[in-house]
């Protein structure tokens, strides 16, 4: 007999909605509460998913004893305060990435997590991508030797860019995935980073950026995030990672994920791995991530597939990249 | 509170072992019993997975009231008798594909399933492949119009071929997947089929074959199954399906599944979708298929994602292809 | 010192124009004469390329002693008579593929060629595609052993189909390329062929077809030609050939030819190999074919990279495929 | 009537041999002279190609009035002196890339070229790659708008790396191609560059490097050259260029060039574009480059598809990258 987990979501933007769609169909999980400051949006989604508990103030949700855990899917600028409050309330917390805008913010969350009775994990969904996990396993088995060079790209259509670039830059928003993966793959700490960004659009943050890091042990790690592909692009996301080692190389391609549809509206390669909707249910890596976190809670076992420290280190890497972009200088760690 | 399902496996070849690996890590499922005629193999796997109930006669497993459902993973020639016995015993039955060697065999199983209180499903794992499901949904949404041409390839290394070709031909063994998918995609019945096989190897069955079917509604459906790629091939499986309609086209690529590893032993593209081993657990489409069948049982809801009739129709199609290959003539339905 | 060759073109449809564009920029060649029955088209192209000799009757062109060779780019139904007249006139003749609609027509041309003092070659441009030539060389070096299975696809947008399908079917129009290549690769004669066509469009000939041939030596050869891809397709041509042998396999991909452009009008993969326009000149395999034929003439060496007999055999294969499609029966050779 | 050009080659390493193989089969060109300091190698190649004039001192070749032009295929460290001597001798000069190790060296060659009656071109073979030319044309037509980001990769097996890395670093040796192409595509001057190299091997120069440049107009240009892929890699060269503009994007893939062979020795993707050997002749972009230079000479028209200034600017870019790699600092222009 497994107890049903009562899950609340704080933040109902497009990705909070994906959380809700995913959670609402998972056995052993009850999507129990929703929270956003916009009453209309709140009612709309709560009605759609049949959720009784509705909040416009997240503190009220945290005070509700009938909620076991929350996922925080707000703007990154709000992550620190909400996460700390949630951890202090004793709830289990799944926080969307990036953990927070700065390493200092992350350190405050880490401190709160250390003393909370709730579990804490940052939702690095790529860690639950089978292609990525198999790559990590191959690296750990020594199949490619010592890593000498890595490149990761995560490029998106400007259509998507325009929706997100007032909240976060492309380099931080998607580079956080690849920064995390590169540190995980290599097990190395960064020594220095240098970055350049481009800002052709009219949103607050830069549409694209490149960062070139040097890691302990000698590897070079290069991150590319450009949210300015043409509207017509067949890529849902042009995402790939190449890792070259002293004895081998491996190539991850997340953009060409096994399905291309050419129809009256153009050429399309839909997501088949992260959160594809199959027979009206969201499946894929995001659901696997939720499953993992839920199973940890059910089993009373602290989640360790992504540690808070790792999530913090990825923020530190990308924050340094943004500092480099601002100053034009190489940033040392 | 969800009752744990007690699952037995009949047949412990390489794929029975995959069943065991997958089931042994699934929450809500107890891998409760194993059955094979080879005592040594039985002991080995039962020890490894800590399974108490061990049988060399499947009838004894079927007689055990503490087993809720069985998966049958034997040679296809044994499918009919074991499936009928299992259905008569009242257990829920997950039968591996192909359902049986002939349509007449399938009809006998269908009759047994119709009067059994157990649920019955054939394990068409491709129906649980996200790429395939998204393709089916796109077709049903009308995005490519009416289907006019389909091609499916499922080619394997001769290393794998040699292990399997004494049990089944390539055309039946892998064509059964694609025959099923093409009938499912198109919703059409076959009108005729013509096939040619090649037999360069020394095993009992032909190493490869092509079949060309005409469907009601006018579509042409072509199946390619060659289990004779070189040992060096980077393809774990070279599997792809292309569907051309009056208004669009779609391309499924199951062979290049997002990861390529080049190491000291050559170039490799491991499976990332069907049953990849991630952190020591078998994940992917096979697990999703098991989950689906288990959830149907728990909910008392008859499984309908793959119906017994559909599984039978796929056998009828491929059996006709083999008849055509034997006779050199076009076979009409 | 090399004598300039004076080249005439008979037939000025879209591909006759490509001939003219290519020839007009080739050193050692003078585009000396043009012929079409449509005076307006004739004047337009002759003016554009600065061609003095202009004919609406090809017989007059053949009678002109100041023309050394002609290429025939008319409807395939006119190939036989014009080719025979041209050969009888003593000119060197480059005839576009397919050689003629039937093997009997081809035999008449062969007879005329045998007694002509002019050289004769059918323009199988794929024989001059470097990818194809390297594949042939690898086969001849024994790298893939004895061929057991071949598949070739040559699919086009319905936009192109509509322009051509009143002249020729897809199966004959593009299958002629692949039929020729498969016979060339394998060095085998066909034993039987079976075909099915689809005809969703409103043009005279079928938009698509599949043919499955059995060759001496045991190989299966499968040809796919569907001229009904959606208007949006990124494929200029979706052309690929896979050859599986007893010891290896090879994969030719002519559709993804190294350049993809995503712009305001969609996703496009332009031809980079057959007749790309580079700095206002047509380059590529077609130019190489013309160069080869011209060099043969200059050197007085009979062209043998594609023999008339091979061109005839490819027609015989595809004509049998069309007969099979008409009758629904397997056609034996 | 076209005069035959008498061509000499200075430097007979592996690429000098490719020059010889290519030139020996080109109409209108006579491979008239060979020069290397190693008598045995000289005799071997001169015998093989039937070349009468044989030199171990390049100055003697330059003094021979019966040679019209020379290609210089020596170590890059010798380029400056030989090129200047050749230009002063009045011969036409085709110099392999990179032009010279430093911008200062290049400036001396430029000065010699400016006063020579011979034509001068650096052999940037990628400028003659149809995929690259079509990309440049699409950019110039405005199809992708203003360039904002470029990435180019040119990675090779360590087997090749070991043969070359005592002469030149990967970053200079292959980055010179991409630096040239990026400046050509964008028409922009560099503002700054930053680079990191890796040196896992035992040769004199670094096995790999990354450079990140900022260009006037705002684009970021990133160059990757790693000559340390595993021996098993199916890539003859993993070469690709992606260009993202404000209105579109384009993707050049030179590594997957339309042919993959899987045989008893592994998986291979042979070169089909640069200098493939077809029916015993070297064809492709290198031959097109030679043809272009020869045609310029025959026509008395100064070659302008690659100007000496452009070749010099590419050297300046990569030399700055190497300086950055040495110092760890960003280098401004």
DSSP string, B52-81: -EEESSHHHHHH-TT--EEEE-S-GGGHHH
CB contact burial C85-112 (16+ within 10 A = b; e otherwise) = bbbebebbbbbbbbbbbbbebbeebbeb
pLDDT classification of C2: cutoffs 50, 70, 90: low
Tokens representing residue B333 in the block? 């339905």
Residue A155 pLDDT = 98
| Chain C nearest CA to A264, separation (Å) | 7
Mutate to test the interface with B, among A134, A145, A258, A295 (most CBs of B within 10 A): A258
First to last CA, chain B: 49
Q: List chain C residues with CB under 8 Å of D235.
A: none
pLDDT digits (tens, 9 = 90+) for C253-284: 999 999 999 999 999 999 999 999 999 999 99
B vs D, Cβ pairs < 8 A, gives 33
Please indicate if any CB of chain A lies within 8 Å of the CB of B125: no
Average pLDDT (C158-183) is 97
Is the CB of A148 less than 8 angstroms away from the CB of D330?
no
Q: Is D105 exposed, middle or buried (0-12, 13-18, 19+ CB in 10 A)?
A: buried
Tokens representing residue B106 in the block? 């399938």
What whole-number distance in Å separates Cα of residue C62 and Cα of residue C89?
6
Residue C3 pLDDT = 83
Is the pLDDT reported for residue C1 higher than 60? no
pLDDT digits (tens, 9 = 90+) for D75-125: 999 999 999 999 999 999 999 999 999 999 999 999 999 999 999 999 999
With DSSP H G I counted as helix, E B as strand and the rest as coil, what are the percentages for chain D, rounded to 5? 40, 30, 35
Is the CB of C228 less than 8 angstroms away from the CB of B148?
yes
Detail the DSSP E strand segments found in C3-44: 5-10, 29-35
Sort strands B220-226 and C69-72 into parallel, antiparallel or unpaired.
Answer: unpaired
First to last CA, chain D: 49
Residue B2 pLDDT = 61
What is the DSSP code (8-state) at residue C142?
T
Average pLDDT (A183-205) is 98
What whole-number distance in Å separates Cα of residue C224 and Cα of residue C210?
5
What whole-number distance in Å separates Cα of residue B32 and Cα of residue B54?
9
Q: List chain A residues with CB under 8 Å of B134.
A: 259, 270, 272, 276, 278
Tokens representing residue A47 in the block? 């009605």
Backbone angles phi, psi at C293, to 5 degrees: -65, -40
Q: List chain B residues with CB under 8 Å of D263.
A: 230, 232
Helix (H, G, I), strand (E, B) or coil at A145: coil
Helix (H, G, I), strand (E, B) or coil at A23: helix
Mutate to test the interface with A, among D139, D144, D244, D324 (most CBs of A within 10 A): D244
pLDDT digits (tens, 9 = 90+) for A61-94: 999 999 999 999 999 999 999 999 999 999 999 9
B 178-197: CB under 8 A from D: none
Is the pLDDT reported for residue C325 higher than 50? yes
Is the CB of A263 less than 8 angstroms away from the CB of C234?
no
pLDDT digits (tens, 9 = 90+) for A123-174: 999 999 999 999 999 999 999 999 999 999 999 999 999 999 999 999 999 9
Is the CB of A192 less than 8 angstroms away from the CB of D247?
no
| Statement: the pTM of the whole predicted model exceeds 0.80 | yes
Tokens representing residue D217 in the block? 């107009």
The total of other beta-carbon atoms located within 10 Å of residue A179's CB is: 29
What is the DSSP code (8-state) at residue B128?
G
Q: List chain D residues with CB under 8 Å of B263.
A: 230, 232
What whole-number distance in Å separates Cα of residue B210 and Cα of residue B222?
7
Is the pLDDT reported for residue D326 higher than 70? yes
Tokens representing residue C173 in the block? 């129009």
Please indicate if any CB of chain C lies within 8 Å of the CB of A226: no
What whole-number distance in Å separates Cα of residue B99 and Cα of residue B308?
9
C 240-269: CB under 8 A from D: 247-254, 256-264
Please indicate if any CB of chain D lies within 8 Å of the CB of C25: no
Task: Collect the ranges in chain B with pLDDT lower than 70.
Answer: 1-2
What whole-number distance in Å separates Cα of residue A120 and Cα of residue A108?
13
First to last CA, chain A: 49
Is the CB of B234 less than 8 angstroms away from the CB of D230?
no
Residue B1 pLDDT = 47
Please indicate if any CB of chain D lies within 8 Å of the CB of C147: no
Q: List chain B residues with CB under 8 Å of A257.
A: 131, 258
Q: List chain B residues with CB under 8 Å of C146.
A: 200
What whole-number distance in Å separates Cα of residue D280 and Cα of residue D325?
42
Contact D293, D124 (CB under 8 A): no
pLDDT digits (tens, 9 = 90+) for A277-323: 999 999 999 999 999 999 999 999 999 999 999 999 999 999 999 99
Q: List chain C residues with CB under 8 Å of D252.
A: 258-259
What whole-number distance in Å separates Cα of residue C204 and Cα of residue C163?
11
Mutate to test the interface with B, among D231, D262, D264 (most CBs of B within 10 A): D262
A76 CB-near residues (< 8 Å, 6+ apart):
A98, A100, A101, A167, A168, A172
pLDDT digits (tens, 9 = 90+) for D112-149: 999 999 999 999 999 999 999 999 999 999 999 999 99
Mean residue pLDDT of chain C comes to: 97
| Chain A nearest CA to D144, separation (Å) | 8
| Chain D nearest CA to C4, separation (Å) | 8
Please indicate if any CB of chain C lies within 8 Å of the CB of D286: no
| Chain C nearest CA to B139, separation (Å) | 14
Please indicate if any CB of chain A lies within 8 Å of the CB of C202: no
Residue A1 pLDDT = 47
Residue B3 pLDDT = 83
What whole-number distance in Å separates Cα of residue D212 and Cα of residue D147?
15
The total of other beta-carbon atoms located within 10 Å of residue A298's CB is: 15
Residue D3 pLDDT = 83
Q: Which member of B134, B249, B256 has the closest CB to residue A272?
A: B134
What whole-number distance in Å separates Cα of residue C7 and Cα of residue C91?
10
Is the CB of D328 less than 8 angstroms away from the CB of A329?
no
**Nearest residue in chain A measured CA to CA from D247:** A230
Contact B99, B311 (CB under 8 A): yes
Average pLDDT (D23-33) is 95
Q: List chain C residues with CB under 8 Å of A265.
A: 232
Residue A189 pLDDT = 98
Is the CB of A248 less than 8 angstroms away from the CB of D228?
no
Q: What residues are paired with C198 via a beta bridge?
A: C208
What whole-number distance in Å separates Cα of residue C288 and Cα of residue C300?
18
Tokens representing residue C155 in the block? 């699919």
């Amino acid at each position: 007999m497994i107890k049903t987990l009562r899950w609340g979501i704080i933040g109902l933007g497009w990705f909070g909605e994906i959380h809700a769609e995913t959670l609402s169909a998972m056995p052993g999980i009850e999507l129990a509460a929703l929270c956003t400051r916009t009453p209309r949006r709140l009612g709309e989604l709560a009605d759609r998913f049949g959720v009784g508990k509705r909040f416009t103030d997240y503190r009220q949700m945290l005070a509700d004893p009938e909620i076991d855990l929350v996922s925080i899917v707000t703007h990154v600028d709000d992550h620190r305060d909400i996460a700390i409050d949630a951890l202090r309330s004793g709830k289990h917390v799944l926080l969307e990435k990036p953990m927070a805008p700065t390493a200092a913010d992350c350190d405050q969350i880490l401190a709160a997590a250390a003393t909370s009775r709730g579990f804490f994990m940052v939702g690095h969904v790529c860690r639950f991508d089978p292609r990525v996990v198999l790559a990590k396993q191959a690296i750990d088995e020594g199949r490619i030797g010592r890593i000498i060079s890595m490149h990761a790209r995560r490029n998106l259509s400007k259509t998507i860019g325009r929706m997100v670039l007032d909240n976060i830059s492309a380099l931080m928003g998607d580079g956080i995935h690849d920064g995390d993966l590169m540190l995980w793959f290599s097990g190395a700490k960064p020594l220095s980073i240098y970055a350049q960004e481009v800002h052709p659009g009219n949103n607050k943050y830069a549409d694209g950026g490149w960062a070139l890091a040097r890691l302990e042990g000698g590897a070079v790690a290069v991150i590319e995030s450009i949210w300015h592909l043409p509207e017509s692009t067949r890529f849902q996301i042009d995402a790939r990672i190449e890792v070259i080692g002293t004895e081998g190389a491996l190539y991850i391609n997340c953009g060409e994920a096994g399905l291309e549809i050419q129809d009256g509206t153009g050429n399309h390669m839909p997501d088949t791995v992260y959160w594809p909707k199959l027979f009206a249910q969201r499946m894929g890596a995001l659901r696997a991530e939720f499953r993992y976190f839920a199973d940890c809670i059910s089993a009373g076992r602290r989640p360790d597939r992504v540690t808070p420290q790792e999530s913090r280190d990825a923020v530190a890497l990308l924050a340094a990249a943004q500092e480099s972009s601002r100053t034009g200088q190489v940033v040392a760690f």
